[in-house]
Structure 1
Amino acid sequence: MTEHALYDIIDPRFAHKIVGSAGLEELHTGCRWTEGPVWFSDHDALYFSDIPNQQVLRYLPSDNSVSVYAKPSNFANGHTRDLEGRLISCEHGPRRVTRTEIDGTITVLAERFEGRRLNSPNDVVVKLDGSIWFTDPTYGILSDYEGYQSEPEQPVHGVYRIDGKTGEIRLMVGDFAQPNGLAFSPDESVLYVADSGASHDPAVPRHIRAFAVENGGLAARDLGPFAVIDNGIPDGFRVDTEGWVWCSAADGVHVFDDTGKLCGKILIPQTVSNLTFGGPKRNRLFITATTSLYALYVTARGAQTP
């Protein structure tokens, strides 16, 4: 189903990021909670999670079809690709980060830190040095809906880095209520991380925080809040080539410039969980929102990712 896209243009610069005549397409529906979209240019395919239904789905633009890629999926949530094009996934069920090898076998990259099980890895990105960065809130162990209810073993809800060569796991930031989506600026000098803790505690700020990446990528210095979501909570997000941040929200996708100013919104009929840029030109915005997968062509292009 295609319908006319609705926008809230707050800053006139945002009008140059969108295609006024482009339609909002509902590509698939009937899921319970969609998440974790990742674009595979060499497959001409988008993979995304339906967490409670324990499946990862695959959308093919060539024939507009959706099929099951993995089921059961271990309550997989966020995904990305590494420098060799392999799928990296956060799995709530076994509370781990995995890599799917070219032959389909699964390699566990992280499941414990300092001898204790991780909470429930949520979202993940890969830096151009090969390191893998992921967030570890407790959503997957709060109930049996998106994982298995369990007591947390980690004393913090952290952001972690896996060394791409040695596999060493390092805690980068440990003072989040519930760290969620994360992405790097185009030059990878800044790491952005969403705090979605207001989902269970209204006192938690609904913001994205910024961190300066220092010491060869081994340190993240807090730069403070970058942007605030005024409707719902920040979940997954992506950065375009100009450093603008496109973030999920209750009423759609909120778009911030590289200073954190809210410049516009793409209004979506359902609560948005995550998004990614895809297509041959990385100018098709794929949006996971509650029960559906949406897509919309924009003039912006997603920052280069593995």
Structure 2
Amino acid sequence: MKRTLFFFLGIICSLGFYSCKKDSRHLEECDECPPQRSKTNGESNFYDPFCLISPSQHILDTLSKGYSFTEGPAVDKKGNVFFTDQPNDKIYKWEAASGKVTTFLTGTGRSNGMAFDKNGYLIACADLHGELIKIAPDGSKTVLVNNYNGKLLNGPNDVWINPVTGGMYITDPMFPRPYWDANDPRRTGNANWPPTHSEQAATGKGGYVYYLAPGSNKLVRVTTDAMGWDSDSWPNGVVGTPDGKKLYINKWA
């Protein structure tokens, strides 16, 4: 099934990820939807995202089509949006200045959730080999971590970087990946579950949230109980508050 890539420019503006001039095609100043705050140069307005959901404001644009399954939008300091087409193992870049979509990287470890760190590196959850990777602007990759206490991760799904400390939180849900190689140590036989060499197998459960401190290569468990097998839910998306004091996790159930 083909998927279409949509970017919700109104919400991106409201969160400060993308600086956009007021455009009557997308945003209409009115009593019901006034700007919440403006930059001093008058170039950018920030709107309540819930107000912008109104269909009458025509805020959804189709920017590109033809992908299998898009995931992990992440925005760099220039407003460029990077996203993955996971089944096709590619990361694409939507250029804010030109509006063009180009291929940024092929061979991404089937990257899923992504985020930019403060140094401009793209951090990606590469679940093909159960890794959290760092991607440089030139496309070179470094594996940050792939295990917890020597036990393989199942497959990192999403990542959030604390803007205050730079620490990274990742979710590691426990759902099967049919594309794993037959010799992958995380699977047994013809993908029977649970995996035999993963963190999940070490506890008999699966689906934890982990924290990676800046400069460290050792994960720390954030959740004490596995969100999987016995709880019938797995950690999926993760995001925190701007002050870095609260973490929100949604489940895949």
Who is 1:252 aligned against?
none
Equivalent of 1:166, from 216, 219, 239? 216
1:192 deviates by 0.3
| Conservation of the 8 A alpha-carbon contact between 1:75 and 1:91 | yes
CA gap 1:23/1:166 in 2 versus in 1, 3 angstroms: closer
Who is 1:112 aligned against?
147
1:182-211 CA distances to partner (integer Å, 9 max, x unpaired)?
001232221100101x2xxxxxxxxxxxxx
Equivalent of 2:167, from 119, 125, 131? 131
Stretches of structure 2 lacking an aligned partner (at least 5 in a row): 7-24, 27-32, 34-47, 188-194, 201-205, 228-232
1:39 deviates by 0.5
Once residues 121 and 142 of structure 2 are traced to their aligned partners in structure 1, the CA distance between those partners, rounded to angstroms, is 11
Who is 1:52 aligned against?
87
Who is 1:292 aligned against?
none
Instruction: Report the secondary structure of 2:88's partner residue.
Output: coil
| Conservation of the 8 A alpha-carbon contact between 2:210 and 2:222 | yes
Once residues 71 and 38 of structure 1 are traced to their aligned partners in structure 2, the CA distance between those partners, rounded to angstroms, is 17
Who is 1:179 aligned against?
235
Q: TM-score, normalised by structure 1?
A: 0.55
1:1-306 pair list within 5 angstroms: 16-18=51-53, 20-42=56-78, 44-102=79-137, 104-127=139-162, 128-139=164-175, 141-144=176-179, 147-148=180-181, 150-151=186-187, 152=195, 153-155=198-200, 156-173=206-223, 174-176=225-227, 177-196=233-252, 198=253
Amino acid at match of 1:23: I
CA gap 1:84/1:14 in 2 versus in 1, 3 angstroms: closer
1:17 deviates by 5.0
State the Cα RMSD in Å: 2.6
Amino acid at match of 1:48: F
CA gap 1:57/1:15 in 2 versus in 1, 3 angstroms: closer
1:14 deviates by 7.0
1:105-159 CA distances to partner (integer Å, 9 max, x unpaired)?
32211101111110000100111211111001134x4311xx5574331222110
Instruction: Report the secondary structure of 1:52's partner residue.
Output: helix
| Conservation of the 8 A alpha-carbon contact between 1:77 and 1:123 | yes
| Conservation of the 8 A alpha-carbon contact between 1:130 and 1:165 | no
1:85 deviates by 1.8
Q: TM-score, normalised by structure 2?
A: 0.66
Greater relative contact order (Cα < 8 A, sep 6+): 1
| Conservation of the 8 A alpha-carbon contact between 2:52 and 2:59 | no
Once residues 102 and 49 of structure 1 are traced to their aligned partners in structure 2, the CA distance between those partners, rounded to angstroms, is 16
CA gap 1:15/1:46 in 2 versus in 1, 3 angstroms: closer
1:61 deviates by 2.9
CA gap 1:94/1:15 in 2 versus in 1, 3 angstroms: closer
Amino acid at match of 2:248: Y
1:51 deviates by 0.5
Amino acid at match of 1:183: V
Once residues 46 and 58 of structure 1 are traced to their aligned partners in structure 2, the CA distance between those partners, rounded to angstroms, is 6
1:171 deviates by 0.8
Amino acid at match of 1:122: N
Who is 1:298 aligned against?
none
Once residues 87 and 160 of structure 1 are traced to their aligned partners in structure 2, the CA distance between those partners, rounded to angstroms, is 18
| Conservation of the 8 A alpha-carbon contact between 1:133 and 1:161 | yes
Relative to its length, the structure with more strand (as a share) is 1
Instruction: Report the secondary structure of 1:84's partner residue.
Output: coil
Once residues 114 and 166 of structure 2 are traced to their aligned partners in structure 1, the CA distance between those partners, rounded to angstroms, is 15
Paired residues, number = 186
